[in-house]
Amino acid sequence: MYKSISPSNYHVLHPRPVYLIVSRNKSSSLNVMAASWVSPVSDEPFLITVSIWRGSLTHQYISETREFTINIPSEKHVDIVYKAGTTSGREVDKFKLLGLKTVKSSVIETPGLDGMLGFLECTVVNQVEVGESTLFIAEVKAVHVLEELYTRYGWDLNKAKILLHHSGRGFTTPSKLILALK
C-alpha cells in the first residue's frame, strides 16, 4: 500500500506557502527571490526560519545587512513568484523585470512589496549551516496585512487567496475552512 520513494523527494512536504523575500545590501541595492522553505519556529518571541542557498545574491545581501522582508503573494502573483524563483539577481534587476514597487518598512530599512497580501519585517538573530544553504533564524519585528482580508483568526480564506507552491510551475491555494470537533 505504501511505496518507498527517493529519500530526497522533498516535494512530499509540498504544497506549502511561498513567499517573496526582499533583501538589501550595504549600498541599499535590493533583490527579491521566491522561497517556500520558511517556517515559524517560536511564538514568544515570534521567530521564523528561512533556508537560503549560499550561492545566491539574497544570501550575500542578508549576510551584509542581517535583515529582510517576507512578502505574502496571492494567486494573482503566480507568474511573478515563478519568475522570481527562476531568475538570478546577479544577471538581471528583478525589480525592473517584474515591475515591483516597494512600500516602506516601519522598523527595518529593507522595504516590503506593494500589492501583496501582507509582509513581515525580520532581523537575523542566529544562523546554522544546512547542506548547501544557510538557515537564517530571524525575529519578526513588525507584521502588516491588508485590513479587509485579515480576521482575528488569521487570513479570511474566502477573500485571501494565499499562494502555495506545489512543484516546478505548479501552485495552488487553500480551499474552504474545515472545523475540527471540539
Of 109-138, binders to a copy of itself (CB under 8 A) are: 112, 118-120, 126, 128, 130-133, 135, 137
CB nearer to a copy of itself: give 97 or 146: 146
In this structure, what DSSP letter does residue 54 have?
T
Can you tell me the distance from the alpha carbon of 34 to that of 85, in angstroms, rounded to the nearest whole number? 5
Positions 46 through 105 that interact with a copy of itself (CB under 8 A): 46-49, 51, 70, 72, 75, 78-79, 81-83, 103
Q: What is the nearest approach in angstroms of a copy of itself to the Cβ of residue 26?
A: 25
Distance from C-alpha of 123 to C-alpha of 105, rounded to nearest angstrom: 12
Extract the C-alpha cell encoding 47. 521567530
- Does 172 sit near a copy of itself (CB under 8 A)? yes
Q: What is the distance between the alpha carbons of residues 93 and 84, in angstroms, rounded to a whole number?
A: 10
**Closer by beta carbon to a copy of itself, 18 or else 25:** 18
Q: Segment contacting a copy of itself (CB under 8 A): 9-17, 24-32, 60-68, 91-99?
A: 9-17
Cα(96)–Cα(30) distance, integer angstroms:
11
| DSSP 8-state assignment for residue 106 | S
In the complex, the smallest distance separating the C-beta of residue 36 from a copy of itself, rounded to whole angstroms, is 8
